[in-house]
Amino acid sequence: MGHFRAFIVTLLALDAVVFVVGSVLAPPDPFTQLLLVGPALLLAPAMAWWLVYRDGFARVQGVIEPDDE
């Protein structure tokens, strides 16, 4: 998978996570949900860029599965 395609897939996955977590954590008031979900959606492209183009997935995997060698 190319970098751009991985970026788009990662961005869509992060957006889905933001909407699900925002709907669970925030009260049902739409204004409050926008205050929580809005900034998170603005940070999602930066996080997707870091994960795809700056080897963030490799760093996260290294934390989850450390090399014992």
Q: What is the number of domains present in the chain?
A: 1
59 within a domain of the structure (yes/no)? yes
- Domain with 13, as residue range(s), is 3-64
Q: What's the whole-model pTM score? A: 0.74
pLDDT in tens, 9-34: 999 999 999 888 888 888 888 888 88
Query: What residues contact residue 27 under an 8 Å CB cut-off, 6+ apart?
Result: 33
29 within a domain of the structure (yes/no)? yes
Which residue pairs from 52-56 have beta carbons closer than 8 angstroms and sit at least 24 positions apart in sequence? 52/3, 52/6, 52/7, 52/10, 53/3, 53/7
40 within a domain of the structure (yes/no)? yes
- Average pLDDT of the chain to the nearest whole number: 82
69 within a domain of the structure (yes/no)? no
22 within a domain of the structure (yes/no)? yes
